[in-house]
Amino acid sequence: MPNANEEIKITILIITLLVLFFVLAFLLLINLFRKKNQLYKQEKAIIQANFNQTLLQSQLEIQEQTFNSISQEIHDNVGQILSLAKVQLNIIGEGQTVNQELLTEAKENISKALTDLRDVAKGLSSDRIRVLGLDESIQQEVTRINRAGILSIQFETDGQVRVIEPQKQLILYRVIQECIQNIIKHANANAVVVDFNYREHCLRIMVSDNGKGFNFQEEQLQHHGLGLMNLYKRMELIGGHVKIESEPDKGTKVHIKLPYV
């Protein structure tokens, strides 16, 4: 009997220890899960904060670029047209009789200036990209640059246009705008092609120029490399990818890929 009692006690002790072990293991797993969940939430919050910051920065940069472009366009285009109309009206006012041909030209110039001002006003809308969509917004930017005579840009699209989230559209628009501005500032190019290819699962974009090109590896180590890294960071934030191809005297191609989901 004593041996049997000892065996029972040992069995109970073993069972108790096993129960305690599993309880402790369960509690440790719960604690580990909570920590991982908390870490996941923190990382998610950081990613969201970075996304919001990039979104806001893109909005501000687009607005700044828009205002700069509009002020330049008013000065170079609308201002010159109105100045010409003023000269024409002054000549008419100094004459003994009304020069109908000159008056007609002055009216046409004033009408053209008003039309250009209306086009400029459309670009002031902060919701322009959301309302017009990415393709039309890019087309307007291309038209503006072509009209200014800065360089010749060709915009091409292929495939069925797909729905892209408004926030992603805004950041993508800013990326393309930044590519074009880099070409204007650094490439010494006179021709650019912006190509949109809507594929089944993703949008592929290529921005190519016939400029002087550059050594990509060396450029990354210099000041302008910071601008290139900015493109990578923006696209990474919205789940996209950027690949840059360039050689001296052979132009540059920027390949952009953005999955729809």
Question: Number of folded domains in the chain?
Answer: 1
How many whole angstroms separate alpha carbon 142 and alpha carbon 155?
7
Starting at the edge strand found earlier in the chain, the sheet holding 252-259 runs 152-158, 191-198, 202-209, 252-259, 241-246
% pLDDT > 90, the chain: 23
Domain range spanning residue 251? 151-261
Q: Which range, of 78-82, 84-88, 152-156, averages the lowest pLDDT?
A: 78-82
Tokens of 57: 């920065």
Whole-angstrom Cα distance, residue 103 to residue 89?
7
Task: Decide if pLDDT at 247 tops 60.
Answer: yes
Rounded CA-CA distance 67/120 in Å is: 10
CATH number for the domain harbouring residue 257 = 3.30.565.10
- Which residue has tokens 């408004």? 166
Query: Is 0.75 topped by the overall pTM?
Result: no
Within-domain flag for 205? yes
Give the tens place of pLDDT for each residue, 222-232: 545 566 788 88
Over residues 122-147, mean pLDDT: 79
Within-domain flag for 48: no
Q: Evaluate whether residue 124 is within a structural domain.
A: no
Within a domain: 84: no
pLDDT higher than 80, residue 211 = yes
Estimate to the nearest angstrom the gap between the alpha carbon of 217 and the chain centroid: 24
Instruction: Report CA Rg, the chain.
Output: 31
Q: Does 184 reside within a domain?
A: yes
The helix or strand, by DSSP H or E, that contains position 203, with its residue range, turns out to be strand 202-209
Do residues 115 and 82 make contact, with C-beta atoms less than 8 angstroms apart? no
Which one-letter DSSP state was computed for residue 198? E
Q: Return the closest-CA partner of residue 200 out of 124, 122, 261, 256.
A: 261
How many other C-beta atoms can be found within 10 angstroms of the C-beta atom of residue 203? 21
Domain membership of residue 12 (yes or no) is no
